[in-house]
Amino acid sequence: MNRNRKILVTGGTGYIGSHVCVQLLEAGYDVVIADNLVNSGRDVVERIARITGRMPAFYETDLLNLESVRHIFREHRIDGVIHFAGLKAVGESVAQPLRYYSNNLTGTLHLLTAMQEEGCRVMVFSSSATVYGETNPVPFDESMPTAATNPYGYTKVAQERILTDIAAAQPDMSVLLLRYFNPVGAHPSGLIGEDPNGIPNNLMPYVAKVATGELPCIHVFGDDYDTPDGTGVRDYIHVCDLARGHIRALEYAFTHTGTDVFNLGTGHGSSVLELIRAFSEACGRELPYVIAPRRPGDIASCWADIHKAQDVLGFTAQATLADMCRDSWHFICCRKEEKI
């Protein structure tokens, strides 16, 4: 059935998008990627093909250019869209709010315009647990009110609103809002994963750079939170599990209309110190860390209520924290070897 379906993946050369492209191709879908490469490389297309034995179509397209988005829809009969393309660095969004609002919101509006013109009615959207804001109690469930604390978060809240309104006005449309918790890990092949340039903001890539010796020491942002060991707790989910959640969501979207929201997490929180211990195991040496002040804007704990994704999509994440650290470490080691 999938064999005849063609999926446009915006941001498909990015970290999560590339893993989803692999699973789409493996499931028999045809894949068209649109990415302006602002945060990824063209080599990822080739890597996806090496893993799957199938080459996706690739367009170096900026969603801010409506004509080039239309061009893709004219060249391909697109059955559904998975929309990853966007800027995602919280700190950068505070420093460059106009760039974030413009890129993330205008990009989505252009995509929706082209979809409407061509009669494409299925959209799976990358939202984030950040929309649960600062005041909801854990675990976060999909019925809770949304909020944001920075421009990046507001772009997600706003895009959820825009998509919901458009689906309400177009009864044959299907929109799924997927709220990711903390995606980490890499494809077990070691060919795709996350290797940010410069000093990473997120914990896992930071820990990985300490493991390679590129950075000297992990800074643990606060050890006085109301959590079991005092450090921040997050719901880390393996990116391959997350990708599998997208395949389930897409299948659901093709058989339902209207808007629905799903958390994609494991339902289990791990502390900063637990993650450092797990990564130390994976790389075979004790990783040095110091306790540093809390990072402004951080909440103590964040994990998902996963019942809805389980009951409605039949999705449960499988990988353990040890699996996530092992695959991240394997990817980083492969990357280093390639660079030598």
Active-site residues: which are they? 152
With CB under 5 to 8 Å by kind, the binding choice for 221 among ligand UDP, ligand NAD, none is ligand UDP
254 is an interface residue for ligand UDP by CB under 6 A: no
- Contact positions vs ligand NAD (CB under 6 A): 11, 13-17, 35-40, 62-64, 84-88, 103, 107, 126, 128, 180, 183
**b/e code 229-264 from CB counts within 10 Å (16+ = b):** ebbbbbbbbbbbbbbbbbbbbbebbeeeeebbbbbb
Residue 131 C-beta: closest distance to ligand NAD, Å: 9
Residue 153 C-beta: closest distance to ligand NAD, Å: 10
| Long-range Cβ contact pairs of 106-111 (< 8 A, separation 24 or more) | 106/63, 106/64, 107/10, 107/63, 107/64, 108/63, 108/83, 108/159, 108/162, 108/163, 109/162, 110/63, 110/64, 110/65, 110/66, 110/69, 111/10, 111/63, 111/69, 111/81, 111/83
203 is an interface residue for ligand UDP by CB under 6 A: yes
201 is an interface residue for ligand UDP by CB under 6 A: yes
Of 20, 81, 85, 90, nearest in space to 48 by CA: 20
With CB under 5 to 8 Å by kind, the binding choice for 93 among ligand NAD, ligand UDP, none is none
227 is an interface residue for ligand UDP by CB under 6 A: no
- Non-local CB neighbours of 64 within 8 Å, separated by 6+ positions: 102, 103, 106, 107, 110
Nearer to ligand UDP, 42 or 295 (CB): 295
Strands (E), 3-54: 6-10, 30-35
Report CA-CA distances (Å) from 63 to 48, 293, 339. 22, 39, 31
Residue 182 C-beta: closest distance to ligand UDP, Å: 5
206 is an interface residue for ligand UDP by CB under 6 A: yes
With CB under 5 to 8 Å by kind, the binding choice for 159 among ligand UDP, ligand NAD, none is none
With CB under 5 to 8 Å by kind, the binding choice for 220 among ligand NAD, ligand UDP, none is ligand UDP
What distance in Å separates the CA atoms of residue 323 and residue 332, rounded to the nearest whole number?
14
With CB under 5 to 8 Å by kind, the binding choice for 219 among ligand NAD, ligand UDP, none is ligand UDP
Residue 316 C-beta: closest distance to ligand UDP, Å: 21
Residue 182 C-beta: closest distance to ligand NAD, Å: 6
**What residues from 272 to 291 belong to the interface with ligand UDP (CB under 6 A)?**
272
Terminal CA-to-CA distance of the chain, rounded, Å? 44
220 is an interface residue for ligand UDP by CB under 6 A: yes
Contact 157, 210 (CB under 8 A): no
Task: Kindly tell me the sign of the dihedral angle through the C-alpha atoms of 8, 249, 47, 5.
Answer: negative
Residue 201 C-beta: closest distance to ligand NAD, Å: 10
295 is an interface residue for ligand UDP by CB under 6 A: yes
For ligand UDP (CB under 6 A), the number of binding residues is 14
Q: Which residues bind ligand UDP (CB under 6 A)?
A: 182, 201-203, 206, 219-221, 232, 234, 272, 295, 298, 302
